A and B are shown apart, each in its own frame.
Chain A
Amino acid sequence: MTTVLVIEDDTSLRRALRTSLKARSFEVIECDTAEAGIVEVADDRPDVVLLDLGLPDLDGVEALRRMRSFSEVPVVVLTARDRQQDKIEALDAGADDYVTKPFDMAELLARVRAVLRRVPHASAAPAVVEVEGLEVDLMRRQVRRDGDSVHLTKTELALLEELATQPGKLLTHEYLLRKVWGRGYGSESNYLRVYIGQLRRKLGDDASNPRLIVTEPGIGYRWIGTD
């Protein structure tokens, strides 16, 4: 059985989440403070964490950093704040995804399932990703589309590798820029727009109806190719 740790200070929302998740056969552990939540992550090793960003005792982003210092557990952030910057900070601090309150349980469950599918370490990722006629061989750095070889530049390949090895995870602009272009980059999201566009074109993905790369405007990109 999958264990979900809910860290949320609002009693009513916790009650609604508990009932809804239990009805979906999840096991639920509840905490109402960040401190208790961090201890719970260490002690009970839940499979996934739902973390409220507006906790009374500790800033949610700080709580995430502390969790990340010892655990790779997938974290979905619950936030009533609709400020873009908060979401980006949480994602950069190690959150896997976020939902904004109020949310539909179906949406939350979809995010939870997606992050649960994610393989925690890139090294353990499948060497070959296959989706709808597209074959990405990360080991041999080869991409085939309907059997034909697709030529990718070094940067395009690095970008594809970051995305495809972390399916479902929302990767922020800053994360991708640092990983692909290197340290010292982080604010040049226009580079990303250009390269993601090229990658989509070469892989035969459609930005208006994506099957491989989803754009989260102002935040980042997410690989959905393995869904």
Chain B
Amino acid sequence: MTRHEAVKAGVQVALAIVIVAVTTVVGRILDVHLTTAALLLLLAVLVATLLGRAAAVAGTVAAFLALNYFFTTPRDSFDVKKGEDLVALFVFAAASAVLGWTISRLDAARRTAEQRERETQVRLELTNRLMAGESPETVVTGVADALVALFGLVRCTVRALGVTTTSTLPGTPGATTVVRSAPLEVEVTASREHPLQPSDRAVLEALVTGLSAAVDRLRLEAEAREARLGAQVGRTRAGFLSAVTHNLRTPLASIKAASSTLRAPDLDLSPADRIELLDTIHDETERLERLVTNILELSRIRAGGLEVHRQPVDVRDLAQAAIRRLRPLARAHRVRLDVTADLGDLDVDVELMEQVFGNLLENALRFAPPGSEILVSARRSCDPEGVTVRVADHGPGVPATERERIFEEFSRVDARPDSSGTGLGLAIVHALVTAHGGRVWCEETAGGGATFVFVIPTHPVDSMREESRA
């Protein structure tokens, strides 16, 4: 028993004796009969019992002695002459004992119920935090607050997963207990007024064990989530890198094969062979140059370094500029432009949009057979409000299943050899259109072939910079 508890008991005993004494004095002044005195003293015991266990015992004993000394005949003596009085004394003793016992039991039950209720609340609160998918660190922080409130602690320190949290309440610090259950370590300091009972300790240990399991599970889940995310990013990056490597090595292989033959000292090459090899080197150097430019461009867009400088421009001018630039590639193709008169100007970054037109046209020219028509058309569209541009060719087309994948970098849908492409043109188109807040997709041309459609909204959403980064 702590000093504090002893003092408390002492006060209770004193109070109980005072209550019994006052009752006795009142009884003697009124000069009541033994039966009335017994009832009065029973009331005093009842009041004392409500104070606590020590007061109940002290009150019962004091009342018994008072009844015996002051009220049984002969008065002012512990002697009992009448058998009836003896019975009254024993009935009184039994009634007091039963009363005290019942009340103290009810009180204990009330305290336990209160404790249970608080415990349930703490568990509920912690479970809610766990269910809410909050980080293990947040839960650990919550544990300290909850335990302090539940047990009326002065201080509670929780250590777990590299996080240390302390929660305090005002009070005189008393005994300190440490409860460990990996990964949780809980150090509690009870107040001197409300020390931890053995039952509290058991509850605390059970709580800490349950919590540590929950925190551990949360930590594992968080780790698994991070690992998944990391692997995904790694895969994409590795995939891009391996595709870049492959696409850089192929033209390099041609250049190295051709140049090593040209400089072989023991070989007398014919002029025709010499020209053939030099042409290969030249063409493949150009292909490498395009590839490197495209990779840099795409990396720049991806890194978020793309700035869209909007200015009004006529769609016809954009298309014409792209056609002019691609004339060497447009062997016998007929490129037709169909733009409605009411279209007006497009508010876009001229340089970037020219590249969109250029890449789509280049794509069409590369795949459509010579002599076929390539139609570039532009219309005003309503949903979303903006301009829809279509580049339609009569080439082999794109299978329906591949129409989304075709905008990924280095995805080559066509199995036919196509040495001159870089595999990045459409990925760049996708990134540039997205940067303008627009959308691009692929359809089938009526009568066969591929049609690339993109919509540039008149009022782009502000999030376009974010989208271009995605």
Contact = CB atoms under 8 A, between A and B. Distances in A.
Interface residues of B, number: 30
A20 B277 contact: yes
A80 interface: yes
B267 A24 contact: yes
Interface in B290-327: none
Contact of B273 (A12, A22, A33): A22
Identify the interface centre among A22, A24, A33, A80: most chain B CB within 10 Å of its CB.
A80
A101 B287 contact: no
A104 interface: yes
Nearest to B412: A56
Contacts of B280: 12, 15-16, 19
25 contacts: A10-B250, A10-B253, A10-B254, A10-B417, A12-B254, A12-B280, A12-B283, A13-B257, A15-B254, A15-B276, A16-B254, A16-B258, A19-B261, A19-B273, A19-B276, A19-B277, A19-B280, A56-B416, A57-B415, A81-B246, A102-B249, A102-B257, A105-B256, A105-B261, A106-B260
Contact of B269 (A9, A13, A23): A23
Interface in A99-139: 101-106, 108
A3 to B, nearest CB: 19
A56 B269 contact: no
A54 interface: yes
B15 interface: no
A12 B267 contact: no
A54 to B, nearest CB: 7
B280 to A, nearest CB: 5
Contacts of B255: 16, 102
A103 B415 contact: no
A9 B249 contact: no
A16 B256 CA distance: 9
Contacts of A196: none
Contacts of B269: 23
Contacts of A190: none
Interface in B253-286: 253-258, 260-261, 264, 267, 269-270, 273, 276-277, 280, 283-284
A110 B269 CA distance: 19
Contacts of A19: 258, 261, 273, 276-277, 280
A200 B444 CA distance: 65
Interface residues of A, number: 29
A32 B257 contact: no
A17 interface: yes
A56 B257 CA distance: 22
A105 B257 contact: yes
A105 B250 contact: no
Interface of A: 9-13, 15-17, 19-20, 22-24, 32-33, 54, 56-57, 78, 80-82, 101-106, 108
Contacts of B249: 80, 101-102
Contacts of B284: 12
Interface in B219-264: 245-246, 249-258, 260-261, 264
A166 to B, nearest CB: 27
B120 interface: no
Q: Nearest 10 A-B pairs (CB), nearest first?
A: A101-B253, A20-B261, A102-B256, A102-B253, A102-B252, A16-B258, A12-B254, A16-B257, A105-B260, A11-B419
Given A13-B254, A15-B254, A15-B280, A23 B267 contact: yes
B287 A12 contact: yes
A105 B252 CA distance: 13
